[in-house]
Amino acid sequence: MTPPGATPAAQTSSHEEEKQPENEDITMGNTTTATTTTTTTTTKPNNSNKPKKGRELMTCTIRAPPFAYAQLAVVSDTSSSTTDDLDALQVRAYCTSALRQFLGDTGAGMAVDILSVTGSSCWVRVPRADLGAFAAALTAFGGVSSTNSGGGGAKAAMLVLQVRACGDWLGSLIGRAEQGALWTS
Amino acid sequence: MVRLKDRYLLVNIIYSDVPAGQQSKGASAGAVPDLLVYNQPTTGELRPQLLLKSIRAEVAALFGDCGAGAIDRSLQVKYLSTATSTFILRISRSHYRLVWAALSFMHHVPVRNGRPCIFRVVRVSGTIRKVEEEAVRRAKLLILAAKREMAGKSSGALDALLRGKDDARNLTMVVDPDDDSEPENGSAMNDG
């Protein structure tokens, strides 16, 4: 988010950073804040005689961030069973088995960092070039069967991993997750 | 109709487990030159189907379901000669590196009680004609080099490598950048 008094050059850099050619954020559409910024750029006349309110110190355009981020959630296919809370070891086990099944040894060697685990969802980080393969591997994952402690003889529910969000910029992903929680809670 | 482009790999089988009795110093009578010890004929049990099965299994182990599906349609053994321990594989252009990597990880001949060996890719080309010509050329060079070694003129493989740029380049691997009849524009789908 740029301050109001920023010059057009700095706003151009934020406009570029929203328009990633290959890895666009997949969940719900563009944030309104970003589009407002770009329309301001195009309609403001570039009048160099007017004294500028702010002074641009540095412009930086990040074209290729090193990592991509994803939010995963464990869901059960039957509505009755309650999913236990996740922990980091379970996330690591699920991810490794999904990647190994889909991509073999090279997949099992992919560098996946688990950033945080809360409730039944977690945030992970992968190298940017591997995001497509990682998301495909988790989508193709058949799931694991959960062990139901109560009700002898009840059939085990399948727990599958769901990719809630994935993209290059962690801040906007978290913002969208919180934004979605506003409407659903 | 879009052209389906392939790559042809020429692969040698090199044997590195030389039994102790065959190691000879110098060209005494009846001694086999080192070049021929490494490039031995392969057992007749090796069939194209066995080779294919083992390459597929190795690609599935290394690259999982995604890799196995990527090469499944186009992987084919075009030519296999156990006498010269040479075979030619056909693979689609965008995924030939998967097969090449799998060959690097295979360490024994895929038959029952197979000997330890090395699968060495010596030529990659877009047309099978160039690969066949290369196979014939390498066979001729191998015979000449073996004869030279038998006659005692060269003292070993190192000497053959360092002899001169012509000879050294003859037996090293060359990857043809564009062996297709029309130039490739754009990059093919890369494997992830």
Tell if the CB–CB gap between A130 and B61 is shorter than 8 Å.
Answer: no
Which of B66, B98, B106, B189 best tests the A interface by mutation, with the highest count of A CBs <10 A?
Answer: B66
pLDDT in tens, A130-176: 999 999 999 988 777 766 444 444 456 678 888 988 999 998 898 88
pLDDT at B158: 61
Long-range contacts of range B69-74, CB-CB < 8 Å, 24 or more positions apart?
B70/B94, B70/B95, B70/B98, B70/B191, B71/B95, B71/B98, B71/B99, B74/B6
Distance from CA of B93 to the nearest CA of A (A): 20
- Is residue A38 a part of any domain in this protein? no
Stronger pLDDT, B188 or A23, i.e. the higher one: A23
- The residue segments making up the domain with residue A82 are 67-146+157-184
CATH number at residue A120: 3.30.70.3250
- Is residue A136 a part of any domain in this protein? yes
pLDDT at B7: 95
pLDDT at B163: 53
Q: How far apart are CA A164 and CA A179, in angstroms?
A: 13
pLDDT at A103: 94
- Is residue A112 a part of any domain in this protein? yes
CA B40-B41-B47 angle, to 5 degrees, is 140
pLDDT at B191: 41
Query: Is residue B143 a contact partner of residue B24, using CB atoms and an 8 Å limit?
Result: no
- Is residue A1 a part of any domain in this protein? no
pLDDT at A21 over 60: no
- Other beta carbons within 10 angstroms of residue A116's beta carbon come to 10
Q: Which chain A positions have a beta carbon within 8 Å of B60's beta carbon? A: 104
A49: Cα within 13 Å, side-chain hemisphere: 0
Tell if the CB–CB gap between A101 and B65 is shorter than 8 Å.
Answer: yes
Q: Which chain B positions have a beta carbon within 8 Å of A140's beta carbon? A: 65
> pLDDT band at residue B114, thresholds of 50, 70 and 90?
confident
Q: Which chain A positions have a beta carbon within 8 Å of B192's beta carbon? A: 103, 129-130, 132-133
- Is residue A6 a part of any domain in this protein? no
Tell if the CB–CB gap between B63 and A104 is shorter than 8 Å.
Answer: yes
- Is residue A5 a part of any domain in this protein? no
H-state helical runs in A51-150:
88-108, 131-140
Give chain B's contact residues with A (Cβ, < 8 Å): 60-67, 192
Distance from CA of B5 to the nearest CA of A (A): 24
**Sheet containing B118-125: order of strands:** B76-81, B86-92, B6-14, B118-125, B174-175
> Average pLDDT for residues B157-168, to the nearest whole number?
53
pLDDT at B170: 59
Distance from CA of B60 to the nearest CA of A (A): 7
pLDDT in tens, A72-127: 988 877 765 666 788 899 899 999 999 999 999 999 999 999 999 988 889 999 99
pLDDT in tens, B118-151: 999 999 999 999 999 999 999 998 888 888 878 8
- Is residue A90 a part of any domain in this protein? yes
Angle between helices A32-43 and A8-18 (to 10 degrees): 140
Domains and CATH numbers, chain B: 8-17+27-175 (3.30.70.3250)
pLDDT in tens, B1-21: 788 899 999 999 998 877 655
> pLDDT band at residue B173, thresholds of 50, 70 and 90?
low
> pLDDT band at residue B180, thresholds of 50, 70 and 90?
very low
How many domains does chain A fold into? 1
- Is residue A28 a part of any domain in this protein? no
Tell if the CB–CB gap between A133 and B66 is shorter than 8 Å.
Answer: yes
% of chain B beyond a pLDDT of 90: 49
pLDDT at B175: 60
- What is this model's ipTM? 0.71
pLDDT at B162: 56
pLDDT at A54: 84
Confidence (pTM): 0.70
Q: Which residue of A has its CA nearest to B67?
A: A103
Stronger pLDDT, B56 or A2, i.e. the higher one: B56
pLDDT at B56 over 90: yes
Stronger pLDDT, B48 or B2, i.e. the higher one: B48
Q: How far apart are CA B182 and CA A93, in angstroms?
A: 48
3-state secondary structure of B32: coil
Which of A22, A97, A102 best tests the B interface by mutation, with the highest count of B CBs <10 A?
Answer: A102
